[in-house]
Amino acid sequence: MRIALVGAGAFGEKHLDGLKNIDGVEIASVISRNADQAAEVAARYGAPHSGTDLAEVLAMPDVDAVILCTPTQMHAEQAIACMNAGKHVQVEIPLSDSWADAEAVVAKQQETGLVCMVGHTRRFNPSHQYVHNKITAGEFNVQQMDVQTYFFRRKNMNAKGQPRSWTDHLLWHHAAHTIDLFAYQSGKIVAANVLQGPKHPELGIAMDMSIQLKAETGAICTLSLSFNNNGPLGTFFRYIGDSETYIARYDDLVNGREEAIDLTGVTVSNNGIELQDREFVAAIREGREPNSSVGKVLDCYRVIGELAQSLEAQDGWS
Same structural domain, 134 and 220: yes
Residue 318 has pLDDT above 50, yes or no: no
**Do 171 and 194 contact (CB within 8 A), yes or no?**
yes
Torsion of CA 11, 17, 22, 27, to 10 degrees: 80
Residues 208 and 227: their CA atoms lie apart, in Å, by 6
Q: Does a structural domain hold residue 295? A: no
Which pLDDT tens digit goes with each residue over 28-47?
999 999 999 999 999 999 99
Same structural domain, 113 and 133: no
Chain centroid to CA 233: how far?
17
Q: Which of 238, 181, 242, 183 is nearest to 216 (CA)?
A: 183
Same structural domain, 264 and 286: no
Handedness of CA 175, 180, 186, 189 (dihedral sign): positive
Q: Does a structural domain hold residue 31? A: yes
Same structural domain, 172 and 312: yes
The pLDDT assigned to 315 comes to: 77
The pLDDT assigned to 162 comes to: 59
Which pLDDT tens digit goes with each residue over 84-137?
999 999 999 999 999 999 999 999 999 999 999 999 999 999 999 999 999 999
The band of 158, judged by pLDDT with boundaries at 50, 70 and 90, is: low
Same structural domain, 165 and 195: yes
Residue 156 has pLDDT above 60, yes or no: no
Phi, psi of 253 (to 5 degrees): -145, 135
Phi, psi of 317 (to 5 degrees): -75, -25
Residue 225 has pLDDT above 80, yes or no: yes
The pLDDT assigned to 9 comes to: 87
**Do 97 and 104 contact (CB within 8 A), yes or no?**
no
Tell me the pTM. 0.93
Residues 186 and 299: their CA atoms lie apart, in Å, by 13
The pLDDT assigned to 167 comes to: 55
33: domain range?
Answer: 2-119+273-290
What's the total number of domains in the chain? 2
